[in-house]
Amino acid sequence: MSTFSEQISSNKAALRFDVIGGPKRTAVAEDMSFLNYRLGSVEVSHEITKERADIVWYYDEAVKSIRYVDGQLILTSFWEEGELNKIMVSMLANEMDKVGLHPFHSSSVIYKGHGILLVGGENNHGKSMTQLEGCRRGAEIFSTETTVMDHESGIALYGSKNIYVRKRAKGTERSDLADQDEGVKMFFGDEPEMPMCYEPKQMDLAVMPCIDGWFKTDVKKMGQFEASYQSYHSMMNFFGLNQLLCGKYGLAMPIVDTDARRQDRAAFCAKYAAGRPYYMIRAKSPQLVFDKIDKLMEELGMN
């Protein structure tokens, strides 16, 4: 029985994926855009450096299943590419966490020389559109969907550069997400230019944007609990604990985390949230949100 091995890495974290049996293949997943969108910068190699696989997929077994045993994720039977994408995101995020790299569900821009983190938090209501408004005002994009933080310093090391997922692989389709191009047309007409920043940056201000056509403009400074709470949501987003991977069989992502790492991550999160001002800005358009960001930066001396 043939074995196909592939290694997927982001920075110093690596994930080994073995496929046992099944048809001849050249890759585990043909389209890696979703992983780059979710984890910032992902490289695929067939040069294997890890002695033991992190994921083992027994393709030819009849019954579809997923389980986590002794540090290995075991898959059986056929899985759609979109389902595999979600699984690989969680497992690579798990390896990143082990080496002190924290993927953070967020967009970020460099504006007037300062890093501004646009937090996804518990809900996801406008970080991409706020980022595009920043670009319209001269900001550079640091990250679009994920910002990867260093555990020791809290510096943003790198981030995803894909603005949108243009096509979702089978098994990850979403009817609840509006067409992003339509949102751009509504708020901007033509898409702004989007220059990119590739150097590590400190994020000096964190904003959780909430955009809805009915919202009255409102700005609130978050306390320590709320800032930590929304940050922890943004960090735990990658572990897939709320995701149903296969609706037909009711298969969910197993727990691959540990209590010790959860506590360590929470300590990082609390320290990070205390290290910069956090604000919630609610408004009916990204233009109004960024007007308030400009005013906040002026008040905070970030000119």
Residue 146 sits in the same domain as residue 269 = yes
pLDDT at 90: 94
For residue 57, what is the enclosing H or E element? strand 55-58
**The domain spanning residue 233 has which CATH number?**
3.40.50
Q: Which domain holds residue 42?
A: 3-99
Show which of 61, 79, 99 is a domain's final residue: 99
Mean pLDDT lowest for which of 162-171, 205-214, 271-280?
162-171
86: exposed, middle or buried (Cβ count in 10 Å: 0-12, 13-18, 19+): buried
- Whether 39 and 149 map to the same domain: the answer is no
The confidence score (pLDDT) of residue 170 equals 57
Count: domains in the chain: 2
Residue 64: inside a domain, yes or no?
A: yes
Answer whether residue 253 is part of any domain.
no
Structure confidence at residue 173 as a pLDDT band (50, 70, 90): low
Q: What is the pLDDT of residue 182?
A: 52
Residue 13 — very low, low, confident or very high, per pLDDT cuts 50/70/90? Answer: very high
* DSSP E strands, 167-228: 203-211, 218-221
Query: Residues 256-268: what's their mean pLDDT?
Result: 95
Q: Is the pTM higher than 0.75?
A: yes
Is there a domain that residue 252 lies in? no
The predicted-structure confidence for 277-295, as pLDDT tens digits, reads as follows 999 999 999 999 999 999 9
Q: Which residues contact 202 (CB under 8 A, 6 or more apart)?
A: 115, 154, 155, 156
If you average pLDDT over residues 103-127, what whole number do you get?
92
Chosen domain end from 49, 71, 99: 99
User: What CA–CA distance (Å, rounded) separates 215 from 211?
Assistant: 7
Contact (CB, 8 A) for 285 and 187:
yes
The rounded distance, in Å, linking the Cα atoms of 187 and 232 is 30
Q: Of 31, 64, 99, which one is at a domain's C-terminal end?
A: 99
Flag whether 255 is in a domain: no
